[in-house]
Amino acid sequence: MLTARLDRAADRILRAEHNLSYSRYLALVLVGELGASTQRTLAEYLGVTEPSVSRMTGVLAADGLLDVRPDPAGGNRRRLSLTDQGKRLVASIQEGFEGRLAELVARSGIPYDEYAEHTARLLATFDQWEQEKTT
**What pLDDT is stored for residue 60 in this prediction?**
98
CA dihedral 55, 57, 62, 64 (to 10 degrees): 170
What pLDDT, on a 0 to 100 scale, did the predictor assign at position 135? Answer: 74
Q: Is the pLDDT of residue 28 over 80?
A: yes
Task: Note the pLDDT tens digit of each residue in 36-89.
Answer: 789 999 999 999 999 999 999 999 999 999 999 988 877 788 899 999 999 999
Give the separation between CA 8 and CA 14, rounded to whole angstroms.
10
**Threshold 0.85, pTM exceeds:** no
pLDDT band with cut points at 50, 70 and 90 for residue 130: confident
Domains of the chain: 2-110 (1.10.10.10)
**pLDDT of residue 35 exceeding 80:** no
